[in-house]
Amino acid sequence: MAAGEWISMTAQREALEQELAREQDHLDRYPEDERSHIEDILVKAGLTADTASRVSSELSDKPRENLDFHARVELGIDPEELGSPVLAAGVSFVAFAIGALVPLIPWLLPLGTPMLLTGLFSGLALFAAGAGLSRFTPRGVLYSGTRQLLVGVVAAALTMTIGGMVGVSV
């Protein structure tokens, strides 16, 4: 699960870096087109053509800031927040470890029917893990939590079915 998170974050990061590289390429090859494009956007945002021209002129003297500005304004990318695959994988691992422990809680308590409670606690743990991960993805808490819960339920059902087929009690 941590590996899956790492892969998806890495892929996302690579895609964003590729877009940045393409933008840099445009800035190198068609600086005038890029300048007028940015000026159009600034004029639409309410600046006068004169101000827009001065902004784009000043930016074109600063390659680093210029790429940053184009990325934000044209692509909607914040180059400083491309996402960290390592962080996402670490969070996923911790969430998974907690998720694996929570269902054991009913067995530690003097309660009547642990099986039912185990299922309930498992569901809650899955939902909480998914909801926690939503912090690092564009998805909402409810979406992430529900998705994690459904994936977990399907995985559990498959495990029990396969376990039943090969005669192992789960």
Stretch that binds Zn ion, among 33-41, 45-53, 93-101, 159-167 (CB under 5 A): 33-41
Is 73 or 153 the residue whose CB approaches Zn ion more closely?
73
CA distance 148 to 6: 16
Q: How far is the CB of 61 from Zn ion (least distance, A)?
A: 16
Q: Which residue is nearest to Zn ion (CB)?
A: 70
Is 37 or 139 the residue whose CB approaches Zn ion more closely?
37
Other beta carbons within 10 Å of 78: 11
Structure tokens given for 108? 């530690």
Q: Does residue 35 interact with Zn ion by CB under 5 A?
A: no
Other beta carbons within 10 Å of 27: 18
List the one residue from 16, 66, 70, 126 that touches Zn ion (CB under 5 A): 70
Residue 5 has, within 13 A of its CA and on its CB side, a CA count of 26
CA distance 101 to 125: 9
Q: Does residue 34 interact with Zn ion by CB under 5 A?
A: yes
Binding mask 95-134 for Zn ion (x = CB under 5 A): ----------------------------------------
Q: Does residue 39 interact with Zn ion by CB under 5 A?
A: no
Is 19 or 74 the residue whose CB approaches Zn ion more closely?
74
Structure tokens given for 155? 């995985």
CA distance 10 to 6: 6
